[in-house]
Amino acid sequence: MLQPPGSPDAARDRAMPPVMRNWAGNITFNAARVHTPSSVERLREIVAGSGSVRALGSGHSFNTIADTHGDLVSVAGLPRIVEIDEAAATVTVSAGLRFAEFTGALHRAGLALHNLGSLPHISVAGACATGTHGSGAGNGTLASTVRAIELVTADGELLVLDRDDEDFAGAVLALGAAGIATRMTLDLVPAYDIRQWVYEGLPYERLRERFDEVLSAAYSVSLFTSWRTDRIEQLWLKQRVGDGDPAPDSRFGAVRADGPRHPVPGMDASTCTEQSGVPGPWHERLPHFRPEFTPSSGEELQSEYFVAREDGRAAFDALARIRERIAPVLQIGEIRTVAADGLWLSPAYGRDTVAFHFTWHPDTAAVTPVLDAIEEALAPFEVRPHWGKLFTMGPERVAALYERYADFEALTAKLDPRGVFRNDLLERYFPGGRG
């Protein structure tokens, strides 16, 4: 039953400050009201009584995907749920939980997620809704583990979808357009340990010659480059214990680091997960950064672009040709792989994928023309942008990249006929999704 407007929860919502910024500080939200409801009933009341609502995850998006002129809602205050079903190998969690808040419990139960993103600080719902991923040639996006999802729909009702529902593949990675997630059931695998090594100085030419081999050299592989030289500065290999141990002194012409490294050369590596081949639980090695530390000050911008894995080497060459445009405004770049999935708006929909990530200096005016240059260079490869990061390509070009684009618009029009969850970004890129 919905709580009345005079409830303590409602009063707390109204008292919250209306001005908020994202983690990076480059977005100031335009919300008239900010809510952190402590119950699903209160969340349902907010949605049912609002003309415009957007869900806010951990604030790690770099564009206006979460912005609204109406009500901004965080589900981080909902009751904590971590229900592990060992027989089914699943966990059901409250959607606002951050990964670091429950992965340890999974490991203690002898279970694990197949992968994690670079940051364990991000929320489950936000990560899945925007296509966030880790790395590994056989590892799908974080959303690919979702088996069922509970949503508060535009009329304030609860909707549960699972993989047997025809709308499921459009509603999980839905940019917040299908409803506000309250809980999610995730597939698990048996727990495993990881060893992590860092190698330095991978020559570009060696990478080009053995591109697929390098990116398949471990369970999870990340290449870090400043695009300033003819070498990949760091090659991070996260190997499941028992698979190919120990590590040789050199790999592909790169030399094993003599101590811990931060992805950005010169920065303190104490914030990073343990390296040098020390074995540890999956949740303490797959992310790049430790949950007890803020990975950086937030003074950065980010973009990421996805191409089919078969085009990875050619896309790398295309970026290398414009590296003089990229390098001056870049802190660090990262190259990873993602396995194909069937989620309609996934950056890896229908194709094994190579992802090119860019962490920029916090200068939007200087970065924007570089994004134009990158998108032009990668245009021949049907490049897809990360939904939660900065990109400049227009709606018609983006729509042509997704086979189920029109189906997604039809789904959002069906689930949200009042346009409660729409905002400026959705209006621009999904005009056919209006009810």
Interval 121-145: pLDDT, tens: 999 999 999 999 999 999 999 999 9
What's the Cα-to-Cα distance from 231 to each of 41, 226, 252, 254, 313, rounded to whole Å?
A: 55, 9, 12, 9, 15
User: Has residue 431 been placed in a domain?
Assistant: no
The HSE-up count of residue 201 (CA atoms within 13 Å, CB side) is 8
Q: What share of the chain is helix, strand, coil (3-state, %, to 5)?
A: 30, 25, 45
What pLDDT sits at residue 13? Answer: 53
Please tell me whether residues 169 and 201 are part of one structural domain.
Answer: no
> Which residue type sits at 270?
S
User: Has residue 354 been placed in a domain?
Assistant: yes
pLDDT at 1 over 90: no
User: Has residue 410 been placed in a domain?
Assistant: no
Range scoring the smallest mean pLDDT among 104-113, 298-307, 366-375: 298-307
Please tell me whether residues 302 and 241 are part of one structural domain.
Answer: yes
The better pLDDT of the pair 194, 18 is held by 194
Phi, psi at 288, each rounded to 5°: -80, -25
- Look at residues 55, 74, 93 and tell me which one is the last residue of a structural domain: 74
Query: For residue 254, what pLDDT band results from cuts at 50, 70 and 90?
Result: very high
Phi, psi at 270, each rounded to 5°: -65, -20
The better pLDDT of the pair 111, 25 is held by 111
- Look at residues 163, 191, 219 and tell me which one is the last residue of a structural domain: 191
Please tell me whether residues 213 and 278 are part of one structural domain.
Answer: yes
What's the Cα-to-Cα distance from 298 to each of 23, 60, 216, rounded to whole Å?
A: 6, 9, 31
Above pLDDT 70, what percent of the chain? 95
Query: For residue 16, what pLDDT band results from cuts at 50, 70 and 90?
Result: very low
Please tell me whether residues 379 and 235 are part of one structural domain.
Answer: yes
Q: Which of 16, 76, 57, 37 is nearest to 156 (CA)?
A: 37
Tokens of 5: 């407007």
CATH number at residue 69: 3.30.43.10
Mean pLDDT of 345-368: 97
Please tell me whether residues 114 and 247 are part of one structural domain.
Answer: no
d(CA 55, CA 78): 13
> Which residue type sits at 85?
D
Range scoring the smallest mean pLDDT among 11-25, 94-108, 252-266: 11-25
Alpha carbon distance, N-terminus to C-terminus of the chain: 27
Please tell me whether residues 282 and 329 are part of one structural domain.
Answer: yes
CATH number at residue 314: 3.30.70.2520
- pTM of the shown model: 0.94
Residue with tokens 């609502």: 53
Please tell me whether residues 371 and 304 are part of one structural domain.
Answer: yes
Q: Which of 389, 407, 386, 410 is nearest to 398 (CA)?
A: 386
Q: How many other CB atoms are found less than 10 A from the CB of residue 189?
A: 14
Residue 43 belongs to domain spanning = 8-74
Strands 71-74 and 53-56 turn out to be: parallel
Phi, psi at 227, each rounded to 5°: 60, 25
Range scoring the smallest mean pLDDT among 19-33, 38-52, 251-265: 19-33
The better pLDDT of the pair 432, 85 is held by 85
Q: In what helix (H) or strand (E) does residue 162 lie, and over which residues does it extend?
A: strand 158-162
Interval 139-169: pLDDT, tens: 999 999 999 999 999 999 999 999 999 999 9
d(CA 380, CA 314): 10
Please tell me whether residues 227 and 332 are part of one structural domain.
Answer: yes
> Structurally, how many domains does the chain consist of?
3
What pLDDT sits at residue 247? Answer: 87
What pLDDT sits at residue 375? Answer: 98
d(CA 37, CA 46): 9
Residue with tokens 């028992």: 242
Please tell me whether residues 147 and 266 are part of one structural domain.
Answer: no
Mean pLDDT of 341-360: 98
User: Has residue 432 been placed in a domain?
Assistant: no
Q: At what angle do helices 364-378 and 312-320 cross, to 10 degrees?
A: 130
CATH number at residue 184: 3.30.465.10
Q: How many other CB atoms are found less than 10 A from the CB of residue 372?
A: 14
pLDDT at 103 over 50: yes
Please tell me whether residues 291 and 277 are part of one structural domain.
Answer: yes
Q: What is the DSSP string of 385-432?
A: E-TTS-----HHHHHTT-TTHHHHHHHHHHH-TT-TT--HHHHHH-GG
Please tell me whether residues 31 and 121 are part of one structural domain.
Answer: no
- Look at residues 48, 74, 100 and tell me which one is the last residue of a structural domain: 74
pLDDT at 9 over 90: no
Tokens of 142: 């974080």
Please tell me whether residues 106 and 40 are part of one structural domain.
Answer: no
Mean pLDDT, the chain, rounded, equals: 93
Interval 275-316: pLDDT, tens: 999 999 999 999 999 998 876 656 899 999 999 999 999 999
Q: How many other CB atoms are found less than 10 A from the CB of residue 163?
A: 12
